[in-house]
Chain A
Amino acid sequence: MKSYDIVIVGGGPAGLAAAVSARESGIESILILERDNELGGILNQCIHNGFGLHTFKEELTGPEYAYRFIEKVYELGIEYKLHTMVMDISHDKIVTAMNRTDGMFQIQAGAVILAMGCRERPRGALNIPGYRPAGIYSAGTAQRLVNIEGYMPGHEVVILGSGDIGLIMARRMTLEGATVKVVAELMPYSGGLKRNIVQCLDDFGIPLKLSHTVVDIEGRERVKAVTIARVENGKPVPGTEERYTCDTLLLSCGLIPENELSRSAGVEMSPITNGPVVNESLETNIPGVFACGNVLHVHDLVDYVSEEARKAGANAARYIKDGCKDAEAGQVIEIAATDGARYTVPSTINLDRMEDLLTVRFRVGAVYQNAFVSVYFDDERVQHRKKKIMAPGEMEQVILQKKKLAEHDGLKKITIKIEAE
């Protein structure tokens, strides 16, 4: 069996940044396994701009952003295999993969970095009633068809869900000559970034109907019409139905981290993020198995994916160099999310292994105006920061200083809360 120090599952933005960082941290033996026919992951179909403002201080398209990292992978001579599907990861880090030329093969990894990304929630999982004709696509599938394959999935479009890909596709389809009639969002707030609502809907006069959902799909062969209705307390309100004739329904109703491999490896999962539970090193409950990017928790900005993945890469490198230091050795501090904060990544901190500054990312469960993000060390409030607006569609963060944690004697639990005052 071949062996590598670090095997990275996925060659999208997370996998690429992790690989570059691990190499820069001194690890020679690295292998990226990518199931698609090129590196870059979903960025390859994101041909709009707006990527890289944080990382490169300039606006790049998705493929351009990806190429910055792909170039590095080439320069550093990091090994990768394309068209290669990872079929299994075992608890002791044997990675089974398959492609056309090598067949099915196994690799013993010293460390594994999970960077499989996420997938879109399909129509079926939403239990939308009606017919099941052609013309119903998840927004990302439509994006691939338009931007990579060069085909239009339809001319008259209704979009359910206001996730970022749906918003981007509303603009994209409009620019391609289609008519986007309405974007319906089940929740009373959008799931996407504010800037995308402005630039992709408002600028094109596309209505966004909050607290609305699809209650019927017509057309046995191809979509003919879609009916939406207002929703109160999670239920459509009779009499509020509006019927839109259309040939296409796009769905942008949430992303699901793709953790089938993680689960079968025995990685502990968070029911909130649907991603692995990780410590300050982005390491899962299996020592030497790290996670980063959308497989860990769904991000809004690729810049944060890259930043997170760089950390995972560096930590995996340290794990290889220092050997399997027990994660439990040293003081372990739990991070809890309560009162409007839904989860945190990471969810524990080993003080000994913590860097000087640690970014803790989280999401809120509702829209908050002029509320405070508070951090408690046990019962003592140590941070209290006012935010004009917080919404579930935008990831939040707090930064913890190792020095402060160390000063707080016997610190057991850090709590992040949203407080009115």
Chain B
Amino acid sequence: MLYDVIIIGAGVTGSAVARELSRYKLNVCVLEKYEDVCCGTSKANSAIVHAGFDAAEGSLMAKMNVRGNVMMGDLARDLDIPFKRNGALVVCIHEEAKDGLQELYDRGIANGVKELRILNREECLEMEPNLSDNVVAALYAPTSGIICPFELNIAMAENAAMNGVDFFFNTEVEELHRDGEIWKLRTNNGEYKTRYVVNAAGLYADYFHNMVSAKKIHITPRRGDYCLLDKEVGGHVSCTIFPQPTKLGKGVLVSPTIHGNLIVGPTAVDIENKEGVNTTAAGIADLIAKANDHVRNLPIRKVITSFAGLRAHEDHHEFILGEVEDAPHFIDCAGIESPGLTSSPAIGEYIGGLMKDLMGLEEKEDWIATRKGVLHPGDLSLEERNELIKKNPAYGNIICRCEYVTEGEILDAIHRPLGARSLDGIKRRTRAGMGRCQAGFCTPRSMEILNRELGIPYEKLTKLGGRSTLLTGKSKEVEKE
């Protein structure tokens, strides 16, 4: 079959583009090498909806960031994604560095960021009593927000799927070339053909770009280690606390998450390995030290997990969006690093608009703009909850004790469009396993549900697809039977 558009990558960018293209009368598919959406850079980041004062004035990065921030409120409502504008403080702790705040403020205004203010020391401490005693002043950005990065990615992909976009997982593009008017993509699952290609391959976007273009680009994996702290201390700060930015990025932030944890990170280390998502002792020590510069009494002992994410850093630190000059009908979304999550809806809109003009697209009459997330019984009243359990008793059965996730939610996560097929798939859709015991209790239960609902044999169940099998075989007694 010949597709009109093939999107490489089901991360937040690819999914945003897929959703926007699903508005039009088009055959679109997404090829994803992992077993699920949101498996690369999109799953391991700060989960911040940045205000937009960081990126250089006039850059695409600035434009997409500010637009993405503006769009996020309506999008979160339409797609049922948890999102809150908790505000951000860029904290200055050296009198002589105060000018830097003004610079940021001016850049923010130039970029079109609303409601920016510079706060003096007293105002800062009144707002955030746990700021470092060294605080001199801060830039306050009330439009900055926190979001569930998994839900944002999953929701856009689900909505695209509802509107007819095909998703093919475990499908890795190995090579692509243009044959007349057609792009041919060789994958581990056979050949795919399309008129247009959207390159949303994250860390690998340079690989595909360079395959088709003489004008090379280069993406460096920039690793960031994070620590996630227990909900018990999620209120340590209420805004997202940034240091003043440096060349390597926005620095180590301390922020509540949308689900009430506290997140600390990231570090910024350039590496070679595009799969190098390992944390390091040095990285974790570094981020703890840096966080302590700006926040006092950081309750780091309450850490429940640490992880590392890779930013797809392009050498020029700018988003590369649009048709590649010397490769017709090949559209790049490359160099999508922070503020990529924030920008994703804007990138989707931008690429969608661009392709509408390019291809002369016509809108569907029956496009569905909204999507309902996994139902959380915890949000219901006692009466509503009991009504729900009466109708579906699975909502009365707690599987994850830490996050109080019921079997009903897990069944919902498995059986919805692009449903979960692994432990991490369940985790990212329901939070089962995301709590303080880190899946110690729910792992065997979730395995049982995956086995029962999807017919996956126990030995084939995985943590995150591929070769991440959870078990190596039966025990002796069981084998004998």
B-binding residues in A (CB < 8 A): 35, 83, 85, 87, 98-104, 119-120, 122-125, 127, 129-135, 137-138, 140-141, 144-155, 176-177, 215-218, 220-222, 236, 247-248
Contact = CB atoms under 8 A, between A and B. Distances in A.
Given A104-B382, A221-B467, A146 B475 contact: yes
Contacts of B448: 149
Interface stretch (B85-93, B147-155, B272-280, B354-362): B272-280
A87 to B, nearest CB: 7
A151 B278 contact: no
Interface residues of B, number: 55
B284 A129 contact: yes
Contacts, number: 141
A366 to B, nearest CB: 21
B43 to A, nearest CB: 11
A140 B463 contact: no
A150 B394 contact: no
Contacts of B52: none
A119 B227 contact: no
A217 to B, nearest CB: 7
Contacts of A101: 393, 396
Main secondary structure of the interface of A (DSSP, over half): mixed
Helix, strand, loop or mixed for chain B's interface? mixed
A94 to B, nearest CB: 12
Interface string B340-355: 0000000000000000
B277 A221 contact: no
A127 B473 CA distance: 29
B233 to A, nearest CB: 13
Contacts of B459: 151
Contacts of B306: 124, 127, 129
A104 B444 contact: no
A246 B36 CA distance: 27
B120 interface: no
Nearest to B459: A151
B278 A217 contact: yes
A248 B469 CA distance: 11
Given A100-B396, A124-B306, A125-B303, 12 more contacts: A85-B401, A85-B404, A99-B397, A101-B393, A123-B438, A129-B281, A137-B443, A149-B444, A149-B447, A149-B448, A215-B281, A222-B468
Contact of A153 (B385, B438, B470): B470
Nearest to B462: A134
Contacts of B277: 131-132, 220
A103 to B, nearest CB: 4
A85 B398 contact: yes
B474 A222 contact: no
Given A100-B397, A119-B440, A151 B471 contact: yes
Contacts of A153: 470-472
Given A151-B474, A153-B472, A221-B464, A122 B398 contact: no
A247 B404 CA distance: 31
Nearest to A150: B478
8 residue pairs, one from A and one from B, having the closest CB atoms:
A124-B305, A122-B438, A150-B478, A134-B463, A100-B393, A103-B386, A221-B468, A134-B468
B470 to A, nearest CB: 5
